[in-house]
Amino acid sequence: MIVSGHGVNIRSVFDNVDLCVHSWWRASPQLAGVKKPATGQAFGLHLRQLRERRGWSQQALADVADITKKTVYRIETAQTSPTLDVLTCLAEGLEISLPELLHFAPPASLNRS
């Protein structure tokens, strides 16, 4: 879309911003405010297991949870941490309680002997 009289392609601007932010985050996840990336990876694996046990695709989970497939993908691959709102949507979509959704094995680095 071109902004009238300015010659700026807004779609192109936003696509480039998304690419830049995504590339920056992948290069430096600690700079994006992720304090415990191993926990995000463990939760992502847990969510994927819950989804696959039901025989669902990422799109199917996204549909029942009323979120985007991209959000499911980013959570499962630990590219983002879900908000409380998204966690609630996931629990409702999976038809489990929020505590059940959050009950997963901690990453090995957090296990204490």
pLDDT digits (tens, 9 = 90+) for 24-79: 344 334 435 678 889 999 999 999 999 999 999 999 999 999 999 999 999 999 99
d(CA 107, CA 100): 17
Residue, of 12 and 52, whose pLDDT is higher? 52
pTM of the model: 0.68
- CA-to-CA distance for 72 and 77, rounded, in angstroms? 9
Instruction: Name every residue whose Cβ is closer than 8 Å to that of residue 50 and which is 6 or more positions away in sequence.
Output: 94, 96, 101
Query: Model confidence over 70-107: pLDDT tens digits?
Result: 999 999 999 999 999 999 999 999 999 999 999 998 87
For the chain, list the domains and their CATH numbers.
1-33 (no CATH), 36-108 (1.10.260.40)
CB 89 within 8 A of CB 65: yes
Spatial separation of the C-alpha atoms in residues 43 and 102, rounded to whole Å: 8
> Which of the pair, 110 or 30, is modelled with greater confidence?
110
Q: What beta strand segments (E) does 1-113 contain?
A: none
Residue 49: phi and psi, rounded to 5, are -65, -45
- Residue 100 tokens read as 């059940």
